[in-house]
Amino acid sequence: MEAGPFRTDTAAPLLLQPLTLRGLTFKNRIVVSPMATYGAVDGMASDFHLVHLGRFALGGAGLVMTEATAITEQGRITHGCLGLWQDGQIAPFRRLTDFLHAHGALAGIQLGHSGAKGAGQRPWHGNGPLGDPDRTAREETPWPLVAATSEAFDNGFPVPAALDESAMDALVADYCAAAHRAQAAGFDVLELHCAHGYLLHGFLSPLGNRRDDAYGGSLANRMRFPLRVAQALRRVWPEDRPLFVRVSAIDGVDFGWSLDDTVAFAAALKRLGIDLVDCSTGGMRVPREHGLPARAPGFQVPFAEGVRARAGIATMAVGLIRDAAQAEAILRAGSADLIALGREMLSDPNWAAKATVALAGETGWTAWPQAFGWWLQRRARLDRPKAGE
C-alpha cells in the first residue's frame, strides 16, 4: 500500500513511535477520545475531571482530549457540559493540563456548539429534551436554541432559531474567544467539533440544512460556515500547535452527507491549515434502511483511510478499536496516523501502558509510572511460567 503523508517505514511498532505535527511531538500515537461525562456545574471542570482524565496520563496515553466543551452557555448539550465561554473557567482547566503535562501526556480540547441538539437531558435522565420533570427533580430548565435551520432535531425537541449573518459573526467571535481561553489554560491541541448532528454538522449535512441562502443548498454553500469557523480558529490558534477537526464521515448508508462530501471538506480544511481530521460517523436522523453499518471492531477505520488517501491529510481512527495488535495494524496499513480510544480507555485506563508492554516487550515497562510500574513489572516476571512447567 502506498505510504501516507506521515507513514514511517520501520520495524519498530508504529503505535509507540513519536509523531510530530507542527511544533508538537506526540510521544506515541495513542489518543484518549473526547467522551462526554456530563459532570460539570456551570461549565466548570472539577476534581472529577482531573481524576477522570488524569488517570489516562498515568496510563501512558500520548494525548488526552477533554469532552466537547461549549463555546457559549447556550451551546451546551446538557446542564452538565463543560464550557469555555468565560474567563473564570480557565483556571480549573489549567489545573488539569498541568497534571497531564507533568505525567507525560499532551492535553487536547474539543470546542463545540450543540445547535439543534442542545438543552437536553443527560443520557441517564432520558436523553431527550428538557421538560417539566427535569425542572421539578433537578431545577434544570431549557434555553433557546440556534441552528442552521429553524427545524426541530426530532419529535418533541424544541424548534431552534435559524442563525442570521450577525448571529454567525457573533459565534465566530465566540469560537475564537474560547480558543484564546484554551491557550491560556495550557492546551496543546485544539479540535473543532463538526460531527454528530451538532451545530456545524447541522450546516454541513443536507439533512440538517434547509437554507436557501449562501449557507445552504450546494456543498460549497453548506461548507461555508464551518470552514469560516475553522479558518478563524487557525488564525488565532498558535502557529506551532495543531488544529484538528472531528467529522461525521457519513450520515448513513447512501443517505445525507457522504464520504465524498467529507473528502471535499477535508481537502478544504487542509488548504486552511488544519492538521488532522478525526473520523467518526452519524448523529443525524436517518431512515432505518439507511442506518449506519453494524458496529464491528474498527467499523469507522475505512473512513479515516479514505479521507487520508484521497484528501492527503492526516487522520485519526476511532470506533471499537480494542487491542494493541488491531491499533498497530491500522497504522501499518496506512489507514490513519493516530488511534483514538474511548470506551476501551474507560474500561482500562492503563490501556496505553499495557499496549506498550505488549508491543515492545520488557522495555515497554518504561511507559508505566515508576511509582508502581517497578512492582507490576516484578509481578509480571514472577507470574511467568518457569522452564519445564
Q: Which helix (H) or strand (E) holds 168?
A: helix 165-184
Q: Who's near 104: CB < 8 A, 6+ residues apart?
A: 27, 57, 60
What pLDDT sits at residue 292? 84
pLDDT at 294: 75
pLDDT (tens digit, 9 = 90+) per residue, 9-35?
A: 457 899 999 999 999 999 999 999 999
DSSP for 215-233, please give it. Answer: TSSSHHHHHHHHHHHHHHH
| Distance of alpha carbon 225 from alpha carbon 272, whole angstroms | 13
Q: How far apart are CA 331 and CA 301, in angstroms?
A: 10
Homologous superfamily (CATH) of 14-383 is Aldolase class I (3.20.20.70)
d(CA 118, CA 76): 6
What is the structure's pLDDT at 277?
Answer: 98
pLDDT attached to residue 9: 45
Beta bridge partners of 341: 32
Residue with cell 460539570: 40
Domain boundaries, the chain: 14-383
pLDDT at 24: 97
Cell of 159: 424548534
* pTM score over 0.75: yes
| DSSP structural state of residue 388 | T
Structure confidence at residue 381 (pLDDT): 87
Q: What is the pLDDT of residue 6?
A: 42
Tell me the pLDDT of the chain (389 aa) as tens digits: 233 344 444 578 999 999 999 999 999 999 999 999 999 999 999 999 999 999 999 999 999 999 999 999 999 999 999 999 999 999 999 999 999 999 999 999 999 999 999 999 999 999 999 999 999 999 999 999 999 999 999 989 999 999 999 999 999 999 999 999 999 999 999 999 999 999 999 999 999 999 999 999 999 999 999 999 999 999 999 999 999 999 999 999 888 999 999 999 999 999 999 999 999 999 898 888 888 877 889 999 999 999 999 999 999 999 999 999 999 999 999 999 999 999 999 999 999 999 999 999 999 999 999 999 999 999 988 877 765 55
CA pair distance 273, 244, nearest whole angstrom? 10
Q: Is the dihedral of CA 26, 31, 32, 33 positive or negative?
A: positive
Position 242, amino acid: P
Question: Half-sphere exposure of residue 128, counting CA atoms within 13 Å on the CB side?
Answer: 9
d(CA 381, CA 203): 55
Say which residues have a Cβ less than 8 Å from residue 8's Cβ, sequence separation at least 6: 14, 17
Taking Cα atoms as reference points, which of 288, 293, 209, 210 lies closest to residue 250? 293
Query: Which pLDDT tens digit goes with each residue over 28-49?
Result: 999 999 999 999 999 999 999 9
Q: What is the pLDDT of residues 261-284, one digit of tens each?
A: 999 999 999 999 999 999 999 989
Please answer whether residues 48 and 39 qualify as being in contact, where contact means their C-beta atoms are separated by less than 8 angstroms. Answer: yes
CB 112 within 8 A of CB 198: yes
Return all residues near 158 (Cβ < 8 A) that are at least 6 apart: 119, 129, 142, 144, 145, 152
**Which residues are catalytic, by number?**
198
Please say whether the dihedral angle defined by the alpha carbons of residues 323, 325, 331 and 337, taken in this order, is positive or negative: positive
pLDDT of residue 102: 98
Residues with Cβ within 8 Å of 112's Cβ and at least 6 positions away in sequence, in order, are 68, 69, 70, 71, 75, 192, 193, 198, 199, 200
Query: What's the pLDDT score for residue 4?
Result: 39
pLDDT of residue 11: 72
Straight-line distance from the first to the last Cα atom of the chain, in angstroms, rounded to the nearest whole number: 43
